[in-house]
Amino acid sequence: MRQSVATLKQVAIAEGIWRDSFTAYPNYALANATAAELYGSVNAARLQAIRQRIDPDRVMDLAGGFTI
């Protein structure tokens, strides 16, 4: 799956239909998707700052899901 996603992204770049601002739709994202891929780099940084302030011990990481 990871190779398929990478190949499709390269095709989209070559076709000129990919933008760096595109994000992955969380319901279809692969398990290793980064916060920047899911929410964009600016929003990911904001979410990481919130997480650090609210949950510095990262207790919510125990719940699973994507890592912010």
Phi, psi of 57 (to 5 degrees): -85, 0
Range of the domain at 30: 2-63
pLDDT in tens, 16-66: 999 888 888 888 888 888 999 999 999 999 999 999 999 999 999 898 878
Asked if residue 56 is part of any domain, the answer here is yes
The domain total for the chain is: 1
Tokens encoding 54: 């609210």
pTM of the model: 0.70
CA end-to-end span of the chain:
22
Asked if residue 68 is part of any domain, the answer here is no
